[in-house]
Structure 1
């Protein structure tokens, strides 16, 4: 187990070094003076380790400060989308597995396939047109209404509202939650389809195991078997796969933020690309990619530590 953790940490470090090398290649091509490539790279690593990502050519502010300002909003959106995908995907995946090959299963998988194929920007525009422009139920842009002057402390509107002492705090909190609904629902569509597919496949495999048959022979109801033994053993193998979905969620978040004018790092990165702000592009690339890799490796390690069957598979491969 120790050597497995050591290998994963080593892989994490090597991957991060490759990322910094890619970012340095972008900087190396842009500077005018001729420098020795390998002599400049250690200096670049020192600056990155110190948090010096350079200055934005658009705002003139340090890139790290810009990332700190925009990234919490993106993280809020991604966490809300993941929460929705789990709340919706796990029950639907369970239902599809229990009715494998029958109408509920076919309907759920067909709906999931449609949701996976629908372009995010198109779905976002449809949601804006229907729920915002036609019905007027939900706001179409921003993190919070301009009516509420909430000081940005954490970059997360909901947390900033809760930390404020203004008399209109409850109204502002309700407004911030309403602003979160549409973009999080749009962003949750693709990960929800992935959760449904993985949970369905894993639960079908688990329900074929001998201990499930033994539980049924003891007289346990189908509901008890599913909740006590089925999902308990079907969900842990799904967790690493969900961690790998973070990259696609962040990619979709960039498009979602542009559609809903969400003040996150995705919209900022798209604007930086349009304005050719290379320092901002490089900084966002490093931070977002490092975050995705760290979450993926951490999810894999936690699953291996907490899931006994995963450890048995690991020991079997080592033998």
Structure 2
């Protein structure tokens, strides 16, 4: 297992480099740039040229990428082009805990609701419960999270006043766990809806297939109660597709967090990515793209490791 993990990490290095090369080229090919924000008649052209020279924006793209990659290998993500002198790593570390908290609570909601609903739907197929869960899953997958977020803000935040409409905590208020949870509930639920809907469908399909296997009938014939048959013999063998989906959920949560954080004014790296995209802050965008790529690689590696943990027949 250790040798497998090492091989996967070594294989991920050229993959990450390839992702950064493509991302860097796309950003540079986009119209405009950081200097375009200073296109004002009162600003001299010489000042704009000096700005580009200071940050190396006038150099060939391969030179810029080489310098960026060299700094990354030394652990230096550079400084922001818009927030003069502020290190990119400092900007990310200030917001990363909020995004990790949002993603963690979203995953918790997803698994606590989706797996039990998928199991109930599988053990009672083609009933009213199954049809209700299926309809809810399709509705959750079809609903855009930005629209759902706005509707929840209007209903629960503005009209009913049950939850705050944005932010991660009450401004100028002392730290309170309840206050954080109060601000966290709506964005975490919105972020969890799409993944929860997909996971429910995967769980139902996987459990339906497993519960028809011979060893399940054997376990029932031996007198095991239905709870033991479903949870001990059925669920563990039906977890493989669910683990695959879990590995894909980690990077998708980052993309979903960008929109959710913008809607709820949540101070995380998703909102930072959108702000940096509008301001053409290339160092911040590249650092966040690199971080997202690491999440993708880590998610797939974690899924492969969990395969062997869940199913001892799988060996690497």
Normalised-by-shorter TM-score class:
0.7 to 0.9
Deviation string for 1:215-264 (max 9, x for gaps)? 11112222221122111222244113212122222111111101100000
Structure 1 Cα separation of the partners of residues 151 and 59 of structure 2 = 50
Question: What's the CA shift string for 1:166-190, capped at 9, x where partnerless?
Answer: xxxxxx2211110001100111101
TM-score (norm 2): 0.84
Q: Distance in 1 between matches of 2:305 and 2:147?
A: 37
Structure 1 gap segments, 5+ residues each: 150-160, 162-171, 315-319
Aligned-partner Cα distance in 2 for 1:59–1:89: 42
- The aligned counterpart of 1:272 is 276
Give the counterpart of 1:223 among 201, 221, 227.
227
Equivalenced residue count is: 289
Bigger drift between 280-289 and 177-186 goes to 280-289
Counterparts of 1:271 and 1:40, CA distance in 2: 22
Q: Distance in 1 between matches of 2:312 and 2:197?
A: 27
Q: Residue 66 of structure 1: which of 91, 99, 109 is its match?
A: 91
User: How does 1:162-241 map onto structure 2 within 5 Å?
Assistant: 172-241=176-245
Q: Which segments of 5 or more consecutive residues in structure 2 lack a partner in the other structure?
A: 30-55
| Residue of structure 2 equivalent to 1:119 | 144
Task: Show CA shifts across 1:59-113 (max 9, x none).
Answer: 1211111111112111111111110000000110001111122222121111100
Shift of 1:206: 1.2
Alignment RMSD, CA only?
2.2
Between 248-257 and 292-301, report the one with greater CA deviation. Answer: 292-301
- For residue 91 of structure 1, the aligned residue among 116, 128, 131 is 116
What CA distance in whole angstroms lies between the structure 1 residues aligned with 2:79 and 2:179? 34
Q: 2:236 touches 2:310 (CA, 8 Å); kept in 1?
A: no
**C-alpha separation between the residues in 2 aligned to 1:40 and 1:267?**
26
Instruction: Kindly report which structure 2 residues correspond to 1:9-88, keeping only aligned pairs within 5 A, or say none.
Output: 9-25=9-25, 31-34=57-60, 37=62, 43-60=67-84, 61-88=86-113
Shift of 1:46: 2.7
Aligned to 1:138: 163
State the shift of 1:24 in Å. Answer: 4.5
Task: Report if the CA contact (8 A) 1:94-1:199 is conserved.
Answer: yes
Give the structure 2 partner of residue 107 of structure 1: 132
Residue pair 1:123, 1:186 contacting (<8 A) in 2 also: yes
Whole-Å separation in 2 of the counterparts to 1:42 and 1:306: 42
Cα separation, 2, equivalents of 1:20 and 1:94: 41
d(CA) in 2 for partners of 1:40, 1:183: 37
C-alpha contact (below 8 Å) 1:24/1:44 kept by paired residues: no
Q: How far off its partner does 1:193 sit?
A: 0.8
How far apart in 2 are the matches of 1:222 and 1:34? 67
Contact 1:237 1:303 in 2 (8 A): no
Range 20-29 or range 233-242, more displaced: 20-29
Q: Check if 1:284 corresponds to 2:288.
A: yes
Q: TM-score, length-normalised on structure 1?
A: 0.83
